[in-house]
Structure 1
Amino acid sequence: MKDLHSDITVTTIVMAALAADNTPAALDLKGYNAAEILLGVGIGGITFDATNKIEFRLTHADDKADGSAPDPGDYTAVDIDDVLGVSSVGTGGIIKALTAAHAAAAAYRVGYKGGKRWLKLLADFSGTHGAGTPLGLFLIKGHGADNPQANQI
């Protein structure tokens, strides 16, 4: 059996039942050469459709010229050349859209290969969401410069 544990670090982005947009945190990839976004979606709090939906938008940015973290306006939407595991990327960096009934929990994963240091993932809610939808959104960083990675328990 191969050892994946020593090669990855997991960052929690969101783990809550949401009925409105999350505030996306800046996710730093410094020191890692691989990244995977995990979207865990529970049973929809509503019946999703083209109006009442959740779109997961991935954006990325480099450091500013002085080496500091980017400002919020520095992030740009990823495109299909920046990600793995999806057949298309929608306007604004949409890597997954929930636009139909979601009657069972599901997990989705999207690889990032865009080469920028910073990521943000927004769960963008449109329409009316009277009840929350459970979301577990995670970033897995791999191929770190300093392996093995520290245990997270």
Structure 2
Amino acid sequence: MRDQAHNFGAVNAIAPAVLSDDPASVTIDRSGFDAVTFVLQIGAGGISFTGSNRIDFLVEHSDDATNWEAADASNILGVSPVVAGNVLSLRSAHPDASVTRVGYVDGRKGDRRYIRLRADFNGTHGTGTPIAAIAILGKPRILPAA
């Protein structure tokens, strides 16, 4: 039997915390891996989300980890983006914890090496919302994956 533990990498994309403002973005280096899946965990909403008091989750990619652009719908798997790069938008009550998987593929010739999942808080968030995300790096070019 082959184990799974050595067939992927995992990196914190959003460190687990109760958040009421944008956390620092984590740059993920895809070097050596041909697939990325974000696993986003969101606890019960700290506020009643609305169109103006919301949290947007954005997937962005870059060639140099300096100049970022939103991933478009052709890059995103598993969810229908709200707009370019925006893979989830909390705009209504979120009373229960949830898990959302978001896949990423680079559709252009020559892979973009860097990727990130960014939580963008809009409006007023007097009470925080528990959030965490892990980037699962799959299809390693060399096994076992570090």
Q: Same fold (TM over 0.5)?
A: yes
Q: What residue number does 1:100 align with? A: 92
TM-score (norm 2): 0.90
Per-residue Cα deviation, 1:3-35 (whole angstroms, up to 9, x for no partner): 332211111122111000111121100000110
Q: What residue number does 1:10 align with? A: 10
Partner-residue secondary structure (3-state), 1:81: helix
Evaluate the alpha carbon distance shift between residue 26 and residue 96 of structure 1 in structure 2; reply closer, same or farther with a 3 A threshold.
same
Q: Supply the distance in 1 between the matched residues of 2:97 and 2:135 (Cα, whole angstroms).
A: 19
Q: What residue number does 1:84 align with? A: 77
Deviation of 1:2 (Å):
6.0
Q: Supply the distance in 1 between the matched residues of 2:19 and 2:27 (Cα, whole angstroms).
A: 19
Q: Supply the distance in 1 between the matched residues of 2:76 and 2:127 (Cα, whole angstroms).
A: 31
Read off the aligned partner of 1:54 and give its amino acid letter.
Answer: I
Partner-residue secondary structure (3-state), 2:88: strand
Read off the aligned partner of 1:3 and give its amino acid letter.
Answer: D
Q: Supply the distance in 2 between the matched residues of 1:29 and 1:89 (Cα, whole angstroms).
A: 25
Q: Supply the distance in 2 between the matched residues of 1:89 and 1:53 (Cα, whole angstroms).
A: 13
Deviation of 1:52 (Å):
0.8
Alignment of 1:93-132 (within 5 A): 93-114=85-106, 115-132=111-128
Where do 5+ consecutive residues of structure 1 fail to align? 64-69
Read off the aligned partner of 1:33 and give its amino acid letter.
Answer: D
Q: Supply the distance in 1 between the matched residues of 2:83 and 2:2 (Cα, whole angstroms).
A: 36
Q: Residue 80 of structure 1 contacts residue 89 of structure 1 at CA under 8 Å; is this kept in 2?
A: no
Q: What residue number does 1:75 align with? A: 68
Partner-residue secondary structure (3-state), 1:5: coil
Per-residue Cα deviation, 1:66-125 (whole angstroms, up to 9, x for no partner): xxxx32xx111000001101123414x111101110000000011000131101221000
Q: Supply the distance in 2 between the matched residues of 1:46 and 1:9 (Cα, whole angstroms).
A: 34
TM-score (norm 1): 0.86
Alignment of 1:22-101 (within 5 A): 22-63=23-64, 70-71=65-66, 74-91=67-84, 93-101=85-93
Q: Supply the distance in 2 between the matched residues of 1:2 and 1:38 (Cα, whole angstroms).
A: 23
**Runs ≥4 in structure 1, deviation > 6 angstroms?**
none
Q: Residue 43 of structure 2 contacts residue 97 of structure 2 at CA under 8 Å; is this kept in 1?
A: yes
